[in-house]
Amino acid sequence: MCSQKCASPGRAFGSKYEPASTATEKPLLTVFATYTLRHKYPRTLREFFGTFALAYLFTDAFLHVLHMFFDHEHNQHYPMQWVVNFAVYFQVHHDNPIKSATENHMEDIDNLCTVTIAFVVFWHCVVWRTKGRALPRMLYLWTLLVIGLGELAIFNHSKCHARTHELEVPAWTVALQDAGVLVHPATHRRHHSCITCNGNTANLPESGVTINVNYNFLVGLSPIYDRIYHAYPIYTILHILFWTVNPMFVISCVALASLRSADVPTPAVKGKVE
């Protein structure tokens, strides 16, 4: 499978296939984070840890699915151009992994963060206009944590390659990688073990077969997801997961459930957004 997946799309970085970042992401994220921490902060430690656990498990699963989907060779011919762009971008990374360590890799998820926040803002306005109240309180913090963990994951991905190539890596990142809190470079290096990826010929797996493992960007449940993927390598399932295991889908489902729920008196009814 990897022999096809990892085949070079024959296009270089810096082309139209590279995801563009948005200048609006940073101010938008700042405003959203400020609003969430001022108005939607967790009221108990239990609330915080519960939301954090849900955000961590979700982000791990989401990034797994995203990575498996965009690494799949079928998506170089997907009917939507932006999906093709990302698929090519992900697969070119196998040919030229050091780029993620030498360029601003974190910019690559700016659009994703912007769209995620835009979904919360959109549904917040819809529910407020329709029901006179906000979305469920913890959805805001959950979204902020998913974005934060996504940023951390992509930062660490960059530092995995930096460390493999003996570039500078912050001491705290090295310490967390060695402690198993963040993905270790050796773990991610296995993902790049592919006989058809240029530059990885010295990193062949045993007996020269290809392996599709370690798609994770957070430590998470990678061995479980890899096993499932190998047991059921069905593109249709992966395709369905791509369109459902993502923050925009989750936010929309929660918002729709909120719209359908019975009206309950809240401070918002008295004119205060809660």
Q: How far is the CB of 168 from Zn ion (least distance, A)?
A: 18
Q: How far is the CB of 235 from Zn ion (least distance, A)?
A: 16
- What's the longest Cα–Cα distance across the chain? 69
Nearer to Zn ion, 154 or 250 (CB): 154
Chain contacts with Zn ion (rule: CB under 5 A): 71, 97
Burial class (CB in 10 A: 0-12, 13-18, 19+), 262: exposed
Nearer to Zn ion, 71 or 95 (CB): 71
Side-chain-side CA neighbours of 146 within 13 Å: the count stands at 29
Which sign, positive or negative, has the C-alpha torsion 32, 35, 40, 45?
Answer: positive
Q: How far is the CB of 101 from Zn ion (least distance, A)?
A: 9
Residue number closest to Zn ion, CB atom: 71
DSSP, collapsed to helix, strand or coil, labels residue 273 as: coil
Nearer to Zn ion, 97 or 220 (CB): 97
Q: Rg of the chain over CA atoms, in angstroms?
A: 20
Q: How far is the CB of 75 from Zn ion (least distance, A)?
A: 12
Which sign, positive or negative, has the C-alpha torsion 53, 87, 100, 109?
Answer: negative
Nearest to 226 by CA among 236, 213, 239, 217: 213
Q: Tell me if 220 sits within 8 A of 91, measured CB to CB.
A: no
Q: Tell me if 59 sits within 8 A of 146, measured CB to CB.
A: yes
Nearest to 112 by CA among 137, 162, 75, 149: 149
**CA 121 → CA 127, 143, 223, 240, 271, distances in Å?**
10, 11, 35, 25, 18
Q: How far is the CB of 93 from Zn ion (least distance, A)?
A: 6
Q: How far is the CB of 67 from Zn ion (least distance, A)?
A: 6
Q: How many residues does the chain have?
A: 274
Nearer to Zn ion, 142 or 242 (CB): 242
Nearer to Zn ion, 26 or 230 (CB): 230
Nearer to Zn ion, 211 or 268 (CB): 211
Q: How far is the CB of 123 from Zn ion (least distance, A)?
A: 32
Nearer to Zn ion, 131 or 239 (CB): 239
